Amino acid sequence: MKIAVVGPGALGTLLAGFLRAKTKEDVWLVDKSPERARRIREEGIRIEGMSSISVSINTSANPKEIAPCDLVIICVKSYSTEDVCKDIKDLVNDNTSILTLQNGIGNVQVLNDHFGADRVIAGVTNHGATLLGPGHVRHAGRGDTIIGMSNGKILGPMRDAANLLTKCGFETKISKDIDSVIWSKLVINVGINALTGITRLKNGMLIQYNGTREILRSAVQEAVKIVKRKRIKLVYDDPIQKVESVCKATAANISSMLQDVLNSKRTEIDYINGAIIRQGKALGISTPVNEVLTNLVKTIESSYEEAEEMN
């Protein structure tokens, strides 16, 4: 099987390293930066923390060089999904399946529009990863991975993808209602990501302080109102308890949004808390806490230079 992992961020690097180390498949890592791709090609992938892996990996910034794959796994930030669909056209032919394991909502629709719903596999993973440098990642937490198709079908290529991920160490289940799974993950990200980005706290600390715990609960409650109105059934019964348990389980994690803030990078706020605001507006549900969180994260993103000057 020929596999391309698109996006050399924390999750993409972790997954590519696992696929390369634990399977005999032809695995490629796709990086839009030729310079960084060259470095990863020369130095390979190093994983530390909960796993210890050191492997070489075919890495390229040129999809033409890779040619069509059986499976393309999208691990780029949500704001790049639209562009990536055009960039990866040489990786895709009629037999290619496209799997997304991105945070936030909206990605599946973009991929469905470009490639057709019968070829797009949606999913979430609860593995935690921190990027330490090009090709260098800390495996910060284990969790399950759930995949499914937005049209509810269970097709052969999806089963193959689930088996492949499980074989490489990403224990994967299949769901017939992947929309609920994606919303269930979104609610967790709504509670954790912006608050960690603003406070610069690790996940576990959010529930140690009364102030952050209260804001976390309020943000989650707003998201749950939307979930209920949309008649989405979350995969857990008590959303606040679930988000707090994820904080505990990933206590030492630097959330993906905090990693972006620490690296002065654009965050996925528009696809997480920002998505709650948009959905709230469409449904007539007010989301003041998510608005404040979104505005604060956007202010942080806009003022990286000023913050740098003060250091």
SS3 state of residue 182? helix
Distances in Å between the Cα of 155 and the Cα atoms of 3, 130, 162, 181 are 18, 33, 11, 18
Where along the sequence are the contacts to ligand PAF (CB under 6 A)? 103, 128, 188-189, 192-193, 203, 246, 250, 253, 255-256
Q: Measured from the CB atom, is 147 or 188 closer to ligand PAF?
A: 188
Task: CB nearer to ligand PAF: give 160 or 171.
Answer: 171
d(CA 295, CA 302): 10
Angle of helix 178-199 versus helix 210-229 axis, rounded to 10: 150
Q: Minimum distance between the CB of residue 65 and ligand PAF, rounded to whole angstroms?
A: 31
Annotated active-site residue in 24, 32, 185, 230 = 185
CB of 212 to ligand PAF, least distance (A): 14
Nearer to ligand PAF, 107 or 203 (CB): 203
Residue 185 annotated as catalytic = yes
Q: Cβ distance 46 to 53 under 8 Å?
A: yes
> What is the crossing angle of helices 288-302 and 210-229, to 10°?
120
Answer yes or no: are the C-beta atoms of 125 and 170 closer than 8 Å. Answer: yes
Which of these, 123, 74, 124, 105, lies nearest to 272 by C-alpha position? Answer: 105
CB 146, min distance to ligand PAF, A: 13
What's the closest the beta carbon of residue 91 comes to ligand PAF, in angstroms? 25
> Which is closer to ligand PAF, CB of 78 or CB of 287?
78
Active site residues: 185
